[in-house]
Structure 1
């Protein structure tokens, strides 16, 4: 047999992670309400299916946006022919305007700095290629998206150094944690080239506050390293406080910043629910990075047909305004119902205001405080409860017992089935939980011990006694 390359035959893709194992369990036995009612429900996929009716309604009203309709076919030839890898001007202009709109029009983006890529996956690899040589490193606060181990490392040879964040302060990124990771990298003879942050956070469903962002800008300036801001969930912030982009921070007068060190990764996969369109964006304030990334984009262009559709859609200002508002309200309502339902059976989660998932706290269900116990619990949830949720260890969380659960990638019926399975599981294993008692036939009430009550009502944990969050959108309409 002819030998393959070391990269091709190595484990760099990271498919040996339980994060991907859960997907395989779902793919072999996917839930269907009638054909496979006992199948695995996919709760490991961060996908926004709540906004599809908004998109569908627009498409019905604007058939000319598609090249495969009588109204749009006249644009077929010019769109089907060769397109420069800079991207269609109208596409870059529309995306730049949308990025500003998502950030409350508090900052403007230059269309000439928009570089296309095949989804955020390709965009991250592109940035890593531009900024670091094989064997050099990026700092990444934990917990972080498992795909980073593939996207940034597999083909580039770049290393990732975790910045350990902990639950006692709601996984806040501190200057001390950054410094400790930087020193650890140096001790391992790794040259640190940058810091990668995800804001809003995947998997936490939280945003970085202004002071934390300023602290990180000061840190990267002091070290003369790059800052990559993954902001692909920017339009999923459904509740106060509002999202603050790194692009806003560097505009502030009290922040000294070498803009050549600042780069943003964006996509439409999460904010608009278009992962299949593979629309990834690199936005860099560094001219050399823009130039290099644009050359690389020829390996992962967004199809011209997709560019045409996106440009048409995002150029419709009324649609964009309505979409941003209604999408947030849909996410808020689903998040509120999902977290409240969990609270009724004694399951808390980190207080979040963004994303397509929650950071669920199952520490009380662990037989012991170890990652082995976390994996044992995860296997029960996958194999017996038939829910694909992702264990915290796959996100490099330093504390066992946390799980990411996606809530926006399913219809209402599937969500209710999933919640019923969770309720049944908790009843079955209630000796590991706090005492439960039935208060009404249709609902559950939790009796908390004082110690557990105090723990769950700590500032970052939503509990059965936590007040339900109020969306500013809901308040404005009532």
Structure 2
């Protein structure tokens, strides 16, 4: 991997070096279980999946047009679509509550897609596509092949492009869960409007390599995307290293993936056991590097303002738990907890996590006591209240007096 040829130091094909695109096509054919070999001419390589997504938004849309996106969703989409393309995101709001219409929390249905598209048209927005993440971020949910086909049929019905981000496809660690890539589907409803994104930042933990790839059956889209390599290309040396990495299937299959999945399983088990013992609700579907947790009981009132305050409280303890509003979640109180870390680091992190929640509860108790005291004073007749103050009567909570008993 440390080999450097003179050719690697020159300008390369804007779509990516031919040897890397060929390897990416073979890699995706193998790991996505494509029914037929994928074409290297349909591969575009840029410096990261965000660059791919941003460029794709410019290719598929005019400024002011929009994509449908089920929420909660990855927050980077908002930045990527607005930075260059000025493309809007129309949220398809999903609910946590289970009902007849929702057999599981945050379930995406065609009815919800239809309603969001209808509302967007009423607002005068031109929707050009649907954006999906599979496995989903931040929920960790994996779309079944039947559900995925329904979403693709919906998109074809309204002549929408479908962008599917599969950046966590090799980070499915629950053996009972089956992931099916869109590239594995033998008959796509509209192949020319189906575009898949993948990169090595998550599955291989090498985000600093800045590698993202697009696979599209639409050669016009691939050609248009290739021009962005002028601004968002990858160095030849990095492309060579990536080529060698993706080529080593024996190491990936027999060493890397089993080890990575085992570590994710161990970390996931530790975190979920901790959350269960603390009676903190969470969603987890055996994929991704994160868990979607519900901290609504620690918010009073349960608002996005209080959610942000709790987020900042975590930051004060050197913990980053992204709050739900960042993911365009319509319900306050949800946070994404990333667990992909070493056991020792996770142990220290959870100690800080509990410290924040204890402080949050203590402040809540103090606030309730102060509110109750203030209410009692307000309810006193004016003469009694003035007499109390004139006699130097001071009401304080137990915590203000350093009392260890919360009831005093």
TM-score class normalised by the smaller sequence: 0.7 to 0.9
| Conservation of the 8 A alpha-carbon contact between 1:175 and 1:219 | yes
What secondary structure, in the 3-state scheme, does the structure 2 residue paired with 1:236 have?
coil
Residue 184 of structure 1 pairs with residue 129 of structure 2: no
| Conservation of the 8 A alpha-carbon contact between 1:313 and 1:319 | no
Q: Among residues 192, 203, 206, which one is paired with 1:274 in the alignment?
A: 206
Deviation at 1:211, TM superposition (A): 2.0
Deviations 1:313-335 (A, max 9, x none): 21122112122232222212111
Deviations 1:99-150 (A, max 9, x none): 2333356664322211011101100011101100011110010001111111
CA distance in 2: counterparts of 1:137 and 1:336, whole angstroms: 39
Structure 1 residues 107, 380: CA separation in 2 closer, same or farther (over 3 Å shift)?
farther
Counterpart in the other structure of 1:243: 179
Counterpart in the other structure of 1:211: 146
Residue 421 of structure 1 pairs with residue 357 of structure 2: no
> Structure 2: any 5+ residue segments left out of the alignment?
98-103, 365-408
Deviation at 1:406, TM superposition (A): 1.2
Which structure has the larger Rg? 2
Counterpart in the other structure of 2:193: 261
Structure 1 residues 101, 332: CA separation in 2 closer, same or farther (over 3 Å shift)?
farther
Higher alpha-carbon deviation: 413-422 or 142-151: 413-422
Q: Among residues 251, 255, 261, which one is paired with 1:319 in the alignment?
A: 251
**TM-score, normalised with respect to structure 1:** 0.71
Residue 228 of structure 1 pairs with residue 160 of structure 2: no
Residue 294 of structure 1 pairs with residue 208 of structure 2: no
CA distance in 1: counterparts of 2:37 and 2:165, whole angstroms: 17
- Runs of 4+ with >6 A deviation: none
Deviation at 1:428, TM superposition (A): 4.9
Where do residues 349-428 of structure 1 align in structure 2 (5 Å cutoff)? 349-383=282-316, 385-408=317-340, 410-428=341-359
| Conservation of the 8 A alpha-carbon contact between 1:345 and 1:423 | no
Counterpart in the other structure of 1:89: 18
CA distance in 1: counterparts of 2:272 and 2:33, whole angstroms: 27
Where do residues 44-193 of structure 1 align in structure 2 (5 Å cutoff)? 65-66=1-2, 72=3, 75-104=4-33, 108-168=37-97, 169-193=104-128
Deviation at 1:357, TM superposition (A): 1.0
| Conservation of the 8 A alpha-carbon contact between 1:107 and 1:247 | no
Counterpart in the other structure of 2:368: none
Deviation at 1:163, TM superposition (A): 0.5
> Structure 1: any 5+ residue segments left out of the alignment?
1-64, 67-71, 434-478
What secondary structure, in the 3-state scheme, does the structure 2 residue paired with 1:424 have?
helix
Deviation at 1:429, TM superposition (A): 5.2
| Conservation of the 8 A alpha-carbon contact between 1:238 and 1:329 | yes
What secondary structure, in the 3-state scheme, does the structure 2 residue paired with 1:235 have?
coil
CA distance in 2: counterparts of 1:98 and 1:336, whole angstroms: 30
CA distance in 1: counterparts of 2:325 and 2:15, whole angstroms: 39
| Conservation of the 8 A alpha-carbon contact between 1:269 and 1:279 | yes
What secondary structure, in the 3-state scheme, does the structure 2 residue paired with 1:109 have?
coil
Deviation at 1:155, TM superposition (A): 1.2
Deviation at 1:364, TM superposition (A): 1.5
Deviation at 1:167, TM superposition (A): 0.9
| Conservation of the 8 A alpha-carbon contact between 1:135 and 1:157 | yes
Residue 195 of structure 1 pairs with residue 130 of structure 2: yes
CA distance in 2: counterparts of 1:328 and 1:373, whole angstroms: 36
Instruction: Tell me the matched-pair count.
Output: 356
Counterpart in the other structure of 1:440: none
Deviation at 1:430, TM superposition (A): 5.7
CA distance in 2: counterparts of 1:92 and 1:221, whole angstroms: 28
Counterpart in the other structure of 2:367: none
Deviation at 1:204, TM superposition (A): 1.0
CA distance in 2: counterparts of 1:354 and 1:346, whole angstroms: 22
Counterpart in the other structure of 1:55: none
CA distance in 1: counterparts of 2:258 and 2:29, whole angstroms: 15
Deviation at 1:377, TM superposition (A): 2.2
What secondary structure, in the 3-state scheme, does the structure 2 residue paired with 1:156 have?
coil
Relative contact order, higher structure (CA 8 A, sep 6+):
1
Deviation at 1:85, TM superposition (A): 2.0
| Conservation of the 8 A alpha-carbon contact between 1:345 and 1:426 | no
Structure 1 residues 394, 86: CA separation in 2 closer, same or farther (over 3 Å shift)?
closer
| Conservation of the 8 A alpha-carbon contact between 2:33 and 2:184 | no
Q: Among residues 242, 253, 263, which one is paired with 1:310 in the alignment?
A: 242
